[in-house]
Amino acid sequence: MEFNFKDLFKKSKSQQLPNNTTDTSGNYGFGYKTIVDSINNYWNRTNLNKGVSISSEQAYLSAVVCRCVNLIASKVANTELVEYKLTTNKKTPVKGDVDMLLNVTGDEITKSYDMKYLAVSQMLLHGNGYIIIKRSANQLPERLEFVESEFVEVLKDERGRPKQYIVKGEDEYIRSSDMIVLKYHQKNLYEGVGALDVLATEIGLSTASIELIKKYFNNGLKSEGFYTNSYDMSKPQLQQLKDQLIEMENTSDKDLTFLPYGVNYQAKQATPHEAQVMETLRNVIEQICSFFGVPLSYVYQTDSVTTSQLEEKNSEFIHDAIYPLLDQIEKELRFKFYTRLIRKKFIIQFKRFTLYRASYTDLKDFVTSLTEKGIFSINEARELLGWDSIGELGDIRTKQLNSIVLDIFKDYSYQMLENSKMKQENKEKQFDNPDETKDNQTIDKKE
């Protein structure tokens, strides 16, 4: 399946603002349409010369939203999903089944990473992420198909519960038990609310004008100002220079002003009011990160974060933002994948161990500590780090190894004690019956 990012963030035309649209009311609120428009333009825009116009405010805020969505979705997608068979004392991984299903999308091949990434991205942005379960004749899961949320229509019963789903352009009705639904910011038991909707009501930019911010983000400082000539130029030379500057600075002809030579170029400076506007924008960035549960250091000012702060922020991010999503996906898959009887024998879980530490060095130290305490065997620890096993001896845990050594020493001590007892008994017999002992020795010699 060939995927285009602009389709991922696309909404209906009624929810989009046309290009070059400004708010004539003077209130430049961070509304739902503005966010949708900024998300669309962020992925569609290659440069300003190709007919796509975007405000600096929209580009900057859409980059923050996209960064948060990408961070959460990629974190979930990178976490391995494993099917386990439950036994009396332990759970045994069943290799291949879930990966095989996640790797198939209709007639095209889609990696399991892409499947999880797209479903979580749709859920974060639009409230619901959909994956269709295609079953075999005996009703066992055969393959999975990702479908974009905008193409899914939900048919509900009298109580508002999903009864069936319809994918636009297809005549097939899909049962609710055959549709995996990932929900975000649930407004009820059956539907989620996307980030684009919630951000519209929780975040606002009512103190500034877009025109003030335009000067300082993206092409603002590059395209505004005056250019001077060091010497007099002919019209063809002047036009050639303009064309080169237009291509170099990604701007248009009307944004370039050439003055007679001898006049210096002066860039515009921010006024106190404009500086306040930019600080307001930074506050909005903090609110967006807080909404998604993403640490600000992951989006803004990452160079000032120490290692200890990185580990602390990573723990908060994993527990507050990632773990709830993993739990939801696990339960949804287990409930939709299996019948009631099979659920008692199988379980689907993410391997969460690699999420515990932000840096690879800290992860290795963490694994070493747990291995020394006997929580992991050497082979289990090496598998978590993506390394090969070292053979059968690597399956023995440290505490087991200590116990084995102690058991060997105990058996050796016990044997030495038994030998000493036997020697002592023989000496006592020799002392009590010396004649009998001498006769026995004589008989042995004759034989």
Half-sphere exposure of residue 437: CA atoms within 13 angstroms, side-chain side: 9
Same domain, 281 and 256: no
* Single-letter amino acid code for the residue at 379: N
Task: Tell me whether residue 292 is in a domain.
Answer: yes
Residue 393 belongs to a domain:
no
Examine the domain organization and report whether 324 and 206 are in the same domain: yes
Same domain, 177 and 294: yes
- 247 shares its domain with 296: no
Of 357, 385, 413, which residue constitutes the final position of a domain? 357
186 found inside a domain: yes
Q: Look up residue 44 and give its two tokens.
A: 């569609």
* 381 located within any domain: no
Model confidence, pTM: 0.56
- Say yes or no: 42 and 99 in one domain: yes
Same domain, 134 and 178: yes
Q: Are residues 130 and 23 in the same domain?
A: yes
Beta-bridged to residue 146, according to DSSP, are: 131
> Does 363 map to a domain?
no
44 within a domain of the structure (yes/no): yes
Task: Give the mean pLDDT per block of 10 residues along the chain (447 residues).
Answer: 35 36 34 43 41 48 74 85 76 65 55 82 84 81 80 82 82 83 78 70 41 37 45 70 67 56 48 62 75 77 59 78 86 81 80 67 70 72 68 63 55 69 70 56 51
The answer to whether residues 256 and 186 belong to one domain is: no
User: Are residues 71 and 170 part of one domain?
Assistant: yes
Out of 240, 266, 292, pick the residue that ends a domain: 266
Structurally, the chain folds into a number of domains equal to 3
**74 in the same domain as 3:** yes
**Do 394 and 382 meet the contact criterion of CB atoms below 8 Å apart?**
yes
Please report the pLDDT score of residue 229 as a whole number.
Answer: 53
- Of the residues 325, 357, 389, the one at which a domain ends: 357
Residues 308, 405, single domain; the answer is no
Tell me the three-class secondary structure of the chain, residue by residue: CCCCHHHHCCCCHHHCCCCCCCCCCCCCCCCHHHHHHHHHHHHHCCCHHHCCCCCHHHHHHHHHHHHHHHHHHHHHHHCCEEEEEECCCCEEEECCHHHHHHCEECCEECCHHHHHHHHHHHHHHHCEEEEEEEECCCCCEEEEEEECHHHEEEEECCCCCEEEEEECCCCCEEEHHHEEEEECCECCCCCECCHHHHHHHHCCCCCCCHHHHHCCCCCHHHHCCCEECCCCCCHHHHHHHHHHHHHHHCCCHHHCCEECCCCCCCCCCCCHHHHHHHHHHHHHHHHHHHHHCCCHHHCCCHHHCCHHHHHHHHHHHHHHHHHHHHHHHHHHHHHHHCCCCHHHCEEEEECCHHHCCCCHHHHHHHHHHHHHCCCCEHHHHHHHCCCCCCCHHHHCEHHHHHHHHHHHHHHHHHHHHHHHHHHHHHHHHHHHCHHHHHHHHHHHHHC
Domain housing 234: 225-266
Residue 207 and residue 232 in one domain: no
Domain contains 423: yes
Structural domain contains residue 386: no
